[in-house]
Amino acid sequence: MVFSPLLVAALLPIAARAANDWSKPCFGECNWDITSGTGSGTVRIVGPQAAVSDITPAAGWMIMDCDPNTADQDIRLVCQDPTKGCDHIYQNSAAGTLVRLPKDCGSTPFALVTREWVHQDQSIPASKRSKIVRRDGSQPVVKGMSLVTSFDDPGVQPNGNVSLFLMGSSIPGAAGNFTVEPPTGASATKRGLSSWIDDSLGKLAQIHEDFSLGKFNKTLSKQSPIDFDKDFTLFDKKIDCPQQGNIPGFTGEAKVDLNGKVQGNTNYGVAAIGSIIPPELDDFGLFVDLDATITGTLGIGANITGSISSGQIPLFSIGIPELDFPKILAIGPTFSVNAEATASLDANVDMDVDLAYTVSGMQLFFPPGANSNAGTYTPGDSNVKLSVSPNVTTHGQIAAHLIPEISFGLSALGGKTQATINLNLDADAALDLSLTAAAEASTSTSGNDAGASVGGCVDITSGLNVNAGANADFFSIKKDTSVSLFKKDFDLFKKCFGSSTARRAYTGRAAHARLARADGLSCPTSALGTAESVVDETVSGSSLV
Ligand SMILES: *[C@@H]1O[C@H](CO)[C@@H](O)[C@H](O)[C@H]1NC(C)=O
Ligand SMILES: *[C@@H]1O[C@H](CO)[C@@H](O)[C@H](O)[C@H]1NC(C)=O
Ligand SMILES: *[C@@H]1O[C@H](CO)[C@@H](O)[C@H](O)[C@H]1NC(C)=O
Ligand SMILES: *[C@@H]1O[C@H](CO)[C@@H](O)[C@H](O)[C@H]1NC(C)=O
Ligand SMILES: CC(=O)N[C@H]1CO[C@H](CO)[C@@H](O)[C@@H]1O
């Protein structure tokens, strides 16, 4: 691992300083930090001198009336200390200049001046009088300024284009542990932009890693916990099966239950590059840190035949603290859990399979870059229980998915760029079952010797598949495409049992594809024997890695 100069700097206590320095004027370039309790970040804007200026006390200005909760407004202000550079705003004309606002004025870090004039109300509030009226009793001229935050306001010609570079983290207090450095010279090409994004995300990810290792003051490290624990039925279909000859009528049922648990922590970081004037994003990337344990038990019972699919079922959804650079970029993440199951069966089947995964130190990058780190991934022990009716020849296939998902709603520059980026961790368990009615079945009198009465093979696989996608065209990612970030499959359990005839009849996956095309459920055409246990074992997770 290469230690960036940034990281080395971050490790020195003296480097612990926010990028936005309120004591220095922002002339031609400016940093602004998120200081809310839910995250941290810095946006850096860079433009020609005439295009970026400052109306905070650092540049000598004092604002007299300004609504701290409004973005677009007219304000009154005076130049209180000309030696600090109030005049910088007049390099071209005040109108068309992007200015930094003091914290107590406006709800945004920057605004575009559309008009500047000598205000007709020259009064100075008593509370500010002593600071503003000069020693000789003279009073500076009260100016008026109209501020807007739609940075392409048609009412004004901007004094130049202004670039923006942004880095943010869901860890409060991480700003100040990084600085946003614009790309230099040749790298300001399309390719240079995306490598700037990659580098910035790489640096942030490194800082996150250090935070999680407790290298920094631990009280700063705050993660977004994810916690989900629920029992639910993915589908439950009942059919009244009428009497057929000497098979009595009964209520057939196909049921899939899942007890799912997802516990862990997540953090994220973002980087964006573009311009605030004109307002457009040129590239964007994010990464997610994830430590999670996904466990669950999948239970299946069926005594009717056919295929069924539950479709994706939303089970749970909760917001994760957002990151907001007002009027520039807002990221609102959501953690949700979905589940899905499909089955094709024509035997009497009862199955319980555990899902168990632990993911730690996973770092996922979107768009996928060189930085992705799968972390360590350990399957846990899994109990496998399977009972089937002994005397049918069948192929069956069941798959169940538990899908925790983190989606990032993104809105940049007054909605000019909007998209939702989804990262989903699809944990699945699948059963492939192939049974052949063994000749001995008819002579078997006790259900205990399942091996003698039923033959076949069972193959249980489980896997974790991490995908990313966006719901709108998003730079290099096209709408509704999905990118695989990580994929791992395990053959959890594979076993043949019963007679050798039955084993030979095992035809593998090809047979299931045929069945999966069938649709709907129906009553069995012949009586199904009572299900007998064929597998009851614990598969050790450590045997799978
Ligand atoms: C400002 O940005 C616009 C739109 O991207 C571009 O057409 C124009 O050439 C830029 N002006 C300068 C001076 O770079
Ligand atoms: C850690 O952070 C807390 C809260 O910000 C602060 O009170 C404490 O002094 C810090 N400790 C160190 C060793 O920096
Ligand atoms: C059919 O399967 C359901 C679900 O496993 C079970 O509750 C029911 O008792 C079964 N009925 C028969 C007649 O086997
Ligand atoms: C399966 O066994 C049951 C009883 O064990 C019997 O009633 C049924 O006819 C058998 N079905 C087939 C297809 O052999
Ligand atoms: C190691 C280090 O420099 N940590 C700093 C990260 O930033 C916070 C907030 O500015 C400081 O308090 C830490 O000391």
> Is the pLDDT score of 156 beyond 90?
yes
Nearest alpha carbon, ligand 4 atom 5: 529
pLDDT, average across residues 132-136: 76
Every domain of the chain and the residues it spans: 5-175, 224-536
Does ligand 3 have an atom closer than 6 angstroms to the CB of 235? Answer: no
d(CA 503, CA 519): 28
As a residue count, the chain comes to: 545
pLDDT at 145: 96
> Is the pLDDT score of 514 beyond 60?
no
Confidence band of 376 (pLDDT split at 50, 70, 90): confident
Please give all residues whose beta carbon lies within 6 A of any atom in ligand 5, as ranges: 10-11, 13, 15-16, 173, 176-177, 216-217
Select the highest-mean-pLDDT range: 189-203, 213-227, 369-383. 189-203
Q: Which atom of ligand 4 is nearest to the CA of 527?
A: 8
pLDDT at 438: 53
Ramachandran sector of residue 168 (left: φ over 0; alpha: ψ -120 to 50; beta: rest) = beta
**Ligand 5 midpoint to CA 14 (Å):** 9
Q: Which residues contact 180 (CB under 8 A, 6 or more apart)?
A: 19, 31, 42, 43, 44, 165, 166, 167, 200
pLDDT at 188: 57
Confidence band of 79 (pLDDT split at 50, 70, 90): very high
- Please provide residue 223's backbone torsions phi and psi, each rounded to the nearest 5 degrees: -110, 160
> Is the pLDDT score of 512 beyond 60?
no
Does ligand 1 have an atom closer than 6 angstroms to the CB of 161? Answer: yes
Q: What is the pLDDT of residues 173-193, one digit of tens each?
A: 776 667 777 776 555 566 777
pLDDT at 538: 86
pLDDT at 2: 33
pLDDT, average across residues 388-413: 83
* DSSP letter assigned to residue 299: E
Return the beta strands (E) in 389-503 as ranges.
394-412, 417-437, 454-470, 482-497
Residues 272, 277, 279, 284, Cα dihedral to 10°: -10
- Between residues 262 and 524, which one has the greater pLDDT? 262
Q: What is the pLDDT of residues 5-64, one digit of tens each?
A: 333 333 333 333 457 888 999 999 999 988 777 788 999 999 999 999 999 999 999 999
pLDDT at 7: 32
In DSSP notation, 194-231 reads: HHHHHHHHHHHHHHHHHHHTT-S-GGG---EEEEEEEE
pLDDT at 470: 86
Q: Which ligand is nearest to the CA of 218?
A: 2
- Between residues 112 and 483, which one has the greater pLDDT? 112
> Is the pLDDT score of 283 beyond 70?
yes
Confidence band of 518 (pLDDT split at 50, 70, 90): very low
Does ligand 1 have an atom closer than 6 angstroms to the CB of 157? Answer: no
**Token pair 């600090």: residue:** 84
Does ligand 4 have an atom closer than 6 angstroms to the CB of 435? Answer: no
Q: What is the pLDDT of residues 470-482, one digit of tens each?
A: 888 777 667 777 8
Q: What is the pLDDT of residues 440-472, one digit of tens each?
A: 433 333 334 444 456 778 888 888 888 888 888
- Between residues 274 and 428, which one has the greater pLDDT? 274
Paired strand residues for 287: 269, 365
pLDDT at 164: 93
Select the highest-mean-pLDDT range: 185-194, 409-418, 536-545. 409-418
pLDDT at 68: 87
**Token pair 């691992």: residue:** 1
> Is the pLDDT score of 251 beyond 90?
no
Nearest alpha carbon, ligand 5 atom 5: 16
Does ligand 2 have an atom closer than 6 angstroms to the CB of 217? Answer: yes
Q: What is the pLDDT of residues 328-372, one digit of tens each?
A: 999 999 999 999 888 888 778 888 888 888 888 888 888 876 666
Evaluate the CA torsion angle 8, 12, 18, 19 in order and state its sign: negative
pLDDT at 302: 87
pLDDT at 221: 47
pLDDT at 78: 95
* Percentage, residues of the chain above pLDDT 90: 26
pLDDT at 120: 95
User: CB atoms < 10 A from the CB of 436, how many?
Assistant: 24
> How is residue 405 written in tokens?
């998902």
Q: Which atom of ligand 3 is nearest to the CA of 528?
A: 14
**Ligand 4 midpoint to CA 118 (Å):** 98
Q: Which residues contact 218 (CB under 8 A, 6 or more apart)?
A: none
pLDDT, average across residues 163-172: 90
Confidence band of 506 (pLDDT split at 50, 70, 90): very low
pLDDT at 214: 60
d(CA 345, CA 235): 14
**Ligand 5 midpoint to CA 216 (Å):** 7
**Ligand 4 midpoint to CA 209 (Å):** 61
pLDDT at 545: 58
> Of 28, 113, 22, which is closest to residue 75 (Cα–Cα)?
113
Continuous segment of H or E residues that includes residue 8? helix 5-11
Mean pLDDT of the chain: 80
d(CA 97, CA 115): 10
pLDDT at 98: 97
pLDDT, average across residues 74-87: 94
Q: Which residues contact 46 (CB under 8 A, 6 or more apart)?
A: 28, 29, 52, 162, 163, 164, 165, 182
Q: Which ligand is nearest to the CA of 528?
A: 4
pLDDT at 369: 67
pTM: 0.80
